[in-house]
Structure 1
Amino acid sequence: MPLAFVLALAASLGIHAAALFGTDIELFGGASDEPVVLRAELQPPPAVAPKPAAESKPVVKPVAKHRPKPARPGPLTSSKDVADTPVAPATETLPETAPETPETTAVPVPEPVKPLLPAKGTIRFMITMGAQGFQIGRAEHTWEFTEDGHYHLSGMTETSGLVALFKSVRFENESRGKLVAGGLQPEQYLTRKNGKDANENADFDWPNAAVRLSRDGNVRPLAPGAQDILSLNYHLAYIKQPEAGATLGVVTGKKYDRYALDSLGEEEIDTPAGHFRTLHLRAMTDTVTEIWIALDRHRLPVKIRFTDKKGDIYEQVATEIGTP
Structure 2
Amino acid sequence: MRFGNIAAPLRRHGRLLAVCGLSVLLHAAVIAWLDTRMSAPLPLIGNAPLAVRLAGVAPAAPPAPAPPATPAAAPATATPDLPAPAPLQADAPAAIPLQAAAAQPSPAPAGGGVAAVEMPSRYRVAVPPSASLRYEVRGGAGSAGEATLNWETDGVGYRLAVDGILGDIESEGATDDAGIAPRQARYRQGAGSAGIAFDRERGAIVLESLGRSVQDATGSQDGATLLMQLVGIGLADPDQMQDTVDLYVGRPDGAAVERFQVLGRERITTPLGAMETLHLARAGKAALEVWLAPGQGWLPVQLRATAPDGSVRTQVIKQIVRQPAP
Alpha-carbon distance change, 192 to 308 in structure 1, aligned in 2, over 3 angstroms = closer
**Pairing partner for 1:139 from 141, 147, 160:** 147
Shift of 1:234: 0.6
Shift of 1:301: 0.7
Which position in structure 2 is the counterpart of 1:311?
310
**Pairing partner for 1:191 from 187, 190, 193:** 187
Tell whether 2:227 aligns with 1:228.
no
The residue correspondences of 1:32-47 to structure 2 (distance < 5 A) are 41=106, 45=110
Which position in structure 1 is the counterpart of 2:263?
264
Which position in structure 1 is the counterpart of 2:212?
218
Gaps of 5+ in 1: 1-36, 48-112, 159-170
**What is the TM-score of this pair, normalised by structure 1?**
0.57
Q: What is the number of equivalent residue pairs in this alignment? A: 203
Shift of 1:286: 2.6
Deviations 1:79-101 (A, max 9, x none): xxxxxxxxxxxxxxxxxxxxxxx
Secondary structure, counterpart of 1:216 in structure 2:
coil
| Structure (1 or 2) with the larger CA radius of gyration | 2
Q: Does the CA-based 8 Å contact 2:126-2:232 persist in structure 1?
A: no
Which position in structure 2 is the counterpart of 1:153?
160
Q: Does the CA-based 8 Å contact 1:125-1:316 persist in structure 2?
A: yes
Shift of 1:155: 1.9
CA distance in 2, matches of 1:116, 1:186: 13
**Pairing partner for 1:129 from 122, 139, 143:** 139
Secondary structure, counterpart of 1:219 in structure 2:
strand
Letter in structure 2 aligned against 1:137: G
Alpha-carbon distance change, 250 to 44 in structure 1, aligned in 2, over 3 angstroms = closer
Q: Does the CA-based 8 Å contact 1:243-1:279 persist in structure 2?
A: no
Secondary structure, counterpart of 1:296 in structure 2:
helix
Tell whether 2:255 aligns with 1:244.
no
**Identity value in percent:** 27
Deviations 1:255-305 (A, max 9, x none): 212111110011111111332211100111133211101112121111111
**What is the RMSD of the two structures over their aligned residues, measured on CA atoms?**
2.7
Tell whether 2:192 aligns with 1:182.
no
Shift of 1:192: 3.3
Tell whether 2:183 aligns with 1:208.
no
Which position in structure 1 is the counterpart of 2:37?
none
CA distance in 2, matches of 1:273, 1:46: 52
CA distance in 2, matches of 1:254, 1:289: 18
Over 6 Å off, 4+ runs: none
CA distance in 2, matches of 1:275, 1:243: 23
Relative contact order: is structure 1 or structure 2 higher (C-alpha 8 Å, sep ≥ 6)? 1
Secondary structure, counterpart of 1:238 in structure 2:
helix
Q: Does the CA-based 8 Å contact 1:115-1:145 persist in structure 2?
A: no
Deviations 1:31-88 (A, max 9, x none): xxxxxx9xx65667589xxxxxxxxxxxxxxxxxxxxxxxxxxxxxxxxxxxxxxxxx
Gaps of 5+ in 2: 1-102, 113-123
**What is the TM-score of this pair, normalised by structure 2?**
0.56
Shift of 1:211: 0.6
Which position in structure 2 is the counterpart of 1:300?
299
